[in-house]
Chain A
Amino acid sequence: DSGVTQTPKHLITATGQRVTLRCSPRSGDLSVYWYQQSLDQGLQFLIQYYNGEERAKGNILERFSAQQFPDLHSELNLSSLELGDSALYFCASSVESNTEAFFGQGTRLTVV
């Protein structure tokens, strides 16, 4: 158990819908990262938050957004969903950017 909790574990939704994925980082970790793992694109970095502020952006679509709350949990919002958004979405956390990141078990999103 990495200490990073992601909910829900599985999500099935229809095209055009909006979903929210939730991540609780390890206790004491200020940095949260979101990654997408798909068959087409492999494992890609989406976005990072540090202590409530956006710190870095990767290959995140404009239809996607994230935030980190004062209690340091984070949410990834995916809207106007398309079939191609079906993927495993991982959250990871670390104390700082240059320390080991610990990954959650992921949320498997299926868009039908």
Chain B
Amino acid sequence: AQSVTQLGSHVSVSEGALVLLRCNYSSSVPPYLFWYVQYPNQGLQLLLKYTSAATLVKGINGFEAEFKKSETSFHLTKPSAHMSDAAEYFCAVSEDFGNEKLTFGTGTRLTIIP
């Protein structure tokens, strides 16, 4: 069975500060890992995905995530937070690269402090 744990349901950072959103996964096979963002009153949008090609994955809007097998982690980072980054972020895992097999975390709400 696969699962993801997102540490911290709410994270606040100052504008211009580092953003770090944590995600740990559990999977019986090499996983596919994803980060999605949900802006207020919007659907989910794919930020980035890990499919075993490279451990450091760059996504849209300046976000990146690093796959660390030894730590079973896939944390999302951005060097400098913008006000427009305020949203809810979901980590997801799949044991097969199919959208129907995604297991989502509970989400982390990111607040940016001016």
Residues of A bordering B, CB below 8 Å? 2, 4, 31, 33, 42-45, 48, 55-56, 58, 90, 92, 94, 97-98, 100-106
CB nearest neighbor in B for A44: B104
CB nearest neighbor in B for A94: B99
A102 to B42: give the CA distance in the assembly, Å: 11
Residues of B bordering A, CB below 8 Å? 41-46, 90, 97-102, 104-107
Assuming the contacts A2-B45, A90-B43, A100-B46, asked whether A43 and B100 have C-beta atoms less than 8 A apart, the reply is no
* 4 tightest A-B CB contacts, nearest first: A103-B43, A56-B100, A97-B98, A43-B104
Contact B41 A101 (CB under 8 A): no
Residues of B within 8 A of A92 (CB): 43-44, 99
Closest Cβ–Cβ distance, residue A66 to chain B (whole Å) = 13
A104 to B82: give the CA distance in the assembly, Å: 25
Contact B99 A48 (CB under 8 A): yes
Residues of B within 8 A of A4 (CB): 43
A45 to B101: give the CA distance in the assembly, Å: 8
Assuming the contacts A42-B105, A42-B106, asked whether A103 and B44 have C-beta atoms less than 8 A apart, the reply is yes
